[in-house]
Amino acid sequence: MLPFFDHTPAAPKICGITSHEDALRTIDSGAGALGFNFYPPSPRAISSEGDMRWISKLKTDYPDIAMVAVVVNPDEELLKRLEQAECFDAIQFHGDESPEFCAAAGHRFPRWIKALRIRSQSDLVAATAFKTSFLLLDAAVPGTYGGSGHMIDWDLGSEFVSAHPETHVILAGGLNPSNVAEAVRSVRPHAVDVASGVESAPGQKDPEKVSSFIANAMNG
């Protein structure tokens, strides 16, 4: 069992971790999960071809913290590298992956999360096609696959949470230390997720923002 996946509300997931130092500071601030981005166009991306032993060490030293690999339309080579690394508790599909692809590729990992870009009620109806317990709701911004800093309609998120109590909804999209408590009160998600909202620059986490975000989320 892992607290991030098994406890509601769960301590926040901090996404776009690019260094061991940022990871340690984020864990010390009370994060429940860390997200590692393997989408090369992202300013927060790390290479799957590089040495991932620092992530393996994090998993060994902090077994109760969920390590999540974030991918966008991954090919077989990337999936194989992430699977063979044996340090990820979940894979998060953040692209245009089909329900069938997610189900097949996701079962190669202990858990899988599908991120959905939400514009309207119809996007939430389509979400039910993904047979996973974990759905991440993010903002729909043309030309991006997340990390845009734009918010989703919290009313839509709240309606989905109420209608699907069996689903663990992770709320993302434009969250920051100033608005996360209100977001939690409005939507009542399983957990919240943030990347750009706690950075001093793309890919560089601001320790004070991370700490404030986590504290405000847990008190929301």
Give catalytic residue positions. Answer: 15, 138
Q: Whole-model pTM?
A: 0.94
d(CA 35, CA 10): 15
Identity of the amino acid at 175: L
Identity of the amino acid at 61: D
Query: Hey, which bits of the chain come out as E strands?
Result: 13-15, 33-37, 66-71, 90-93, 112-118, 134-139, 168-171, 191-194, 199-201, 204-205
d(CA 109, CA 86): 9
Q: What is the pLDDT of residues 22-79, one digit of tens each?
A: 999 999 999 999 999 999 999 999 999 888 999 999 999 999 999 999 999 999 999 9
d(CA 31, CA 49): 26
Q: For position 94, what pLDDT does the model report?
A: 94
Q: For position 109, what pLDDT does the model report?
A: 98
Q: Where does the pLDDT of residue 110 fall: very low under 50, low under 70, confident under 90, or very high at 90 and above?
A: very high
Contact predicate 146/174, CB 8 Å: no
Of all residues in the chain, what percent carry a pLDDT higher than 70?
Answer: 95
d(CA 37, CA 51): 14
Contact predicate 32/12, CB 8 Å: yes
- CA distances for 113 relative to 38, 110, 124, angstroms: 15, 11, 15
Q: What is the pLDDT of residues 121-148, one digit of tens each?
A: 887 888 889 999 999 998 865 555 555 5
pLDDT at position 212 over 80: yes
Q: For position 141, what pLDDT does the model report?
A: 56
Q: For position 122, what pLDDT does the model report?
A: 80
Q: Residues 171-179: what's their mean pLDDT?
A: 95
